[in-house]
Amino acid sequence: MSYFDAASAAPLHPVARQALQASLDEGWADPARLYREGRRARLLLDAAREAAADAVGCRPDELAFTASGTHAVHAGIEGALAGRRRVGSHLIVSAVEHSSVLHSADAHEASGGAVTRVRVDRAGRVSPSSCAAALRPDTALACLQSANHEVGTEQPVAEVAQMCREAGVPLLVDAAQSLGWGRVEGDWSLLTASAHKWGGPSGVGLLVVRKGVRFAPQGPADERESGRAAGFENIPAIVAAAASLRAVRAEAAVEAVRLRELTERIRARVPALVPDVEVVGDAVRRLPGIVTFSCLYVDGETLLHELDRAGFSVSSGSSCTSSTLTPSHVLKAMGVLSEGNVRVSLPPGTPQEDVERFLSVLPGVVSGVREKLGAPTAVTKVPASVDALVVDALGRRCPIPVIELAKVIGDVPVGGTVRVLSDDEAARLDIPAWCEMRGQEYVGEEPSDHGSAYVVRRLS
């Protein structure tokens, strides 16, 4: 079995396993106590904090360990907003932030705060000028991930941090995906991360608050972790997290070159091997191990199951793999195809042979899924008898509306239109994406008695 979902959780690093086992015997006592066992635990905790701080590039007393990366995000946003409540209650986030950031933004907005969600381009990248334009006199905090968790696009953190600093606004950086590869550059104010993303144990997060940043921890007071993370520290897991971060950093430069070559191979060969595929995310400014692509006429859930049966563990942002049946907020914000979405995120040490086997298996898997769904193999070139057609796809989930569109586009003359009726939210994203990929014109969306009508004009 080839595990290709390191962006969700990286396999436990051997150094993390060793450190965890060793510290179970020494790090079980209360580090706040003065007796021998407590002092041993305190030494382990302090050493782990120093190692993690060195990897981040901050002072040890600026770094707190939390119960998870999500907890670090929530605590960081809430504390920074509360600390600057006299300035205002305006929060800035990018449209492609991790759900933990966006959920915090939703909660802030529900409680009366103001939120600006900065748009991204089709590569998933924000522009520094857009972030600067979002700044207001009452802006309390801005949030920007260092790199995207779904498509791997790196964000211009240093430039945005400089603009925020000049405006007197703290910037919180979610560095969960990138910290294992290197420090986050720029004059940021707060930083969060999660150990299971770099091969540490789950249940350990990092929250860094720079000296001089106004910060007011929320919730009941607690003396642990400078009051920023309540509860007894999981010292064995913390030690393992810090040890593995130091270990992956030592390997990062060499491994980044190797994984970047493997993902570049996937980016180049998948469109050549599989027709009607869109590779998404920035082609250059991206993390080494992540490559994401979307396939037309494919049920995402079925595709992932078939790849699993073939021996590959991958993930997806497709609406078909979600219980909500809505496309990934990242793909939606980028305006790219969401159906049949596959994210390949290679863990360090991935053999080249596994990637080659994936590339040999993928075309057959996609073809098989398309055949089951009755997807067209090409646009039909037949004499057209009508100038306009209506496709009723109400109650049918993507990719079916797009498949039905592709089947009939050749039945109208050049200049003729097809109206697709659909009540699946993914159609709002996938039909325009299909038009761009197939050289047809997306006219727009019209209201309908049920759902929406998506109008497409045939150009070729």
SS3 track for 110-152: HCCCEEEEECCCCCCCCCHHHHHHHCCCCEEEEEEECECCCCC
Determine the 3-state secondary structure of 219 from DSSP: coil
Contact 381, 409 (CB under 8 A): no
Query: Could you tell me the CA-to-CA distances from 273 to 265, 358, 378 in Å, in that order?
Result: 12, 11, 16
CB contact set of 9 (below 8 Å; sequence gap of 6+): 196, 197, 202
What distance in Å separates the CA atoms of residue 52 and residue 391, rounded to the nearest whole number? 57
Contact 117, 142 (CB under 8 A): no
Q: Could you say which of 131, 143, 164, 320 is catalytic?
A: 320
- Phi and psi at 271, nearest 5°, equal -65, -25
The 8-class DSSP code of residue 395 comes to T
Structure tokens of 442? 């997306």
Q: Is 320 among the residues known to form the active site? A: yes
Determine the 3-state secondary structure of 284 from DSSP: coil
Strands (E), 33-176: 63-66, 90-94, 114-118, 139-145, 171-174
Q: Give the DSSP letter string of 307-370.
A: HHHTTEE-B---GGGSTT----HHHHHHT---TTEEEEEPPTT--HHHHHHHHHHHHHHHHHHH
Q: Could you count the other beta carbons within 10 Å of the beta carbon of residue 254?
A: 10
What distance in Å separates the CA atoms of residue 232 and residue 428, rounded to the nearest whole number? 47
Q: Is the dihedral of CA 20, 25, 29, 31 positive or negative?
A: negative
The number of C-alpha atoms within 13 Å of 453 and in the hemisphere containing its C-beta is: 12
Cα-Cα-Cα-Cα dihedral of 109, 111, 113, 119, to 10°? -10
What distance in Å separates the CA atoms of residue 147 and residue 329, rounded to the nearest whole number? 15
Burial of 369 (0-12, 13-18, 19+ CB in 10 A): buried
Structure tokens of 343? 């994210």
Contact 242, 52 (CB under 8 A): yes
Q: Which residues are catalytic?
A: 320
